Homo-oligomer: A and B are copies of this chain.
Amino acid sequence: MNVSASFLIAAAAALALSGASQAQTAPQLPPPASVSADALGYMNTFPPAGDKLIDNSNRTRFPQTRWVLQHTRELVPTRNIRRGAASASALPRAERDLGAMVFEDDKGQKISVDQWFDSTYTDALVVLHKGRIVYERYTNGMKPETPHLLFSITKSFTGLLAAQLVAEGRIDREALVTTYVPELAESAWGDMKVKDVMDMTGAVRYREVYTDPTTEVFPYLYSSNLLPSPSGYTGPKNIYDFLRTLKKEGEHGTGFVYRTVHSEVLGWILSRVTGKHFADLMSERIWTKLGMEEDAYVMVDPVGTPLQGAGLNATARDLARFGEMLRRGGELNGQRVFDRAVIDDLRRGGDREKFKASGMTFRPGYSYHNQWWILHNADGAFEASGVNGQMLHINPAAELVIVKLSSHPIASAGPTHPLTLRAWSALAEAVRR
């Protein structure tokens, strides 16, 4: 296979889709200000000069990802998720100087919200309290209207749509996956139930070892457009063909292991059941109903398949509107978007014992349910999360929604999550004051 070692390392650093497979190392990282969009000058001349050029050869490398995560559609095919024709729904403001607020980090040091923002390569931070913007900040070239790659936050949209279709009686959690997608009969999903896809407790041999090009993550990345295919690549050329190659390993239902491929299968079920593309489902059921400010979009593979595990791009404000709807139990501005019971079930979470199989000790006490992370804390918090620092955190008790979009050099949440949990607590405490 024609993959250079440096490229593999770059892929590991910038695009690892599993939080689990990354070590909790603390490599030497460049100062964030030195790798801002302004400092880097990517793609801002005609033609882009030398090391300022970003194309298929380097688009997954850091610090190129500082630019790429706001420009996905300029590099790969995508499909639009249209907002409605009406004006954007109001996001009232009640700003507070949260940036200067100091809290204690996971090392016992004092740190301000602004320092946390800067040191974790944040591109956008939006904090809503009782539906009002109390804090909003952008950097690294990002603006309120810029869609940002959300990576695995995509999964949580897929999972919530699936949960709603379960509530509508169109998907049966107890049914076999092959009830909906018979093409998967010979694969790992051949004897798996839908619930083991939704909660990622299905047993699939899917290894993400970025230093071993024989592991299954590579054909996933190539078949999905997440990485350009190397010259001479002969594996599957679209997501569906790739999924059919994966085999069972272990017993279904015994433990939660985070696998992006489950989200892609769930997406396949969604499209098969509704007869609609994910982009259209998202527009009809979420984007138009919430009065989003901007269109969103999703990456597609070479045959138009949406990347339902990692390909969604949206603005921070629109993601905040989505979070606010969830905080309010499924409605916003008098419009019901998801059944109350669907949100209640989501918040109750999944099996915390099974979660331990994930090895994600940096998420203590969590469970994973319907493609969402449930904190099981006193505030009833739950969240969606993507590599390189994408987060949507909802704290119902504090009436708080936090969106943090980043271009962190480390893919996994592992090294940063202890600090993230401190920040969630500090912000919840602040808005309660």
Contact = CB atoms under 8 A, between A and B. Distances in A.
B79 A77 contact: no
Contact of A272 (B46, B74, B272, B300): B46
Centre residue among A75, A78, A80 by max chain B CB count within 10 A: A80
* A-B residue pairs, 9 tightest by C-beta: A46-B271, A47-B240, A74-B79, A87-B87, A74-B77, A75-B77, A55-B302, A43-B304, A55-B303
A56 interface: yes
A74 B74 CA distance: 12
A293 interface: yes
Given A293-B85, A295-B295, A238 B47 contact: yes
16 contacts: A43-B304, A44-B275, A45-B275, A46-B271, A46-B277, A47-B305, A48-B303, A48-B304, A54-B304, A55-B304, A73-B80, A74-B78, A74-B79, A77-B77, A85-B293, A295-B295
A302 B54 CA distance: 9
Interface string A136-175: 0000000001000000000000000000000000000000
Kindly name the residue among A45, A74, A145 whose own CB sees the greatest number of chain B CB atoms within 10 A.
A74
How many chain A residues sit at the interface, stated as a range, is 35 or more
A82 interface: yes
A98 interface: no
Contacts of A82: 145
What copy number does this chain have within its complex?
Answer: 2
A287 to B, nearest CB: 12
A268 interface: yes
A304 B58 CA distance: 14
Given A46-B240, A46-B268, A85-B145, 13 more contacts: A46-B271, A46-B277, A47-B240, A47-B303, A48-B303, A48-B304, A55-B303, A74-B77, A74-B78, A74-B304, A77-B77, A85-B293, A295-B295
A110 to B, nearest CB: 38
A82 B43 CA distance: 19
Interface string A43-84: 111111000011110000000000000000111111110100
Interface string A292-315: 010100001011110000000000
Interface of A: 43-48, 53-56, 73-80, 82, 85, 87-88, 145, 238, 240, 268, 271-272, 275, 277, 293, 295, 300, 302-305
A78 to B, nearest CB: 6
Contacts of A45: 275
Given A78-B73, A272-B46, A56 B302 contact: yes
Contact of A77 (B76, B85, B302): B76
A303 B53 contact: yes
A166 to B, nearest CB: 19
Contacts of A80: 73
A77 B78 CA distance: 7
A423 to B, nearest CB: 30
Nearest to A273: B46
Contact of A73 (B54, B77, B87): B77
Contacts of A53: 303
A46 B182 CA distance: 12
Nearest to A88: B85
A44 B277 CA distance: 8
A125 to B, nearest CB: 20
Contacts of A277: 46
A247 to B, nearest CB: 20
A74 B79 CA distance: 5
A54 B303 CA distance: 7
Nearest to A270: B46
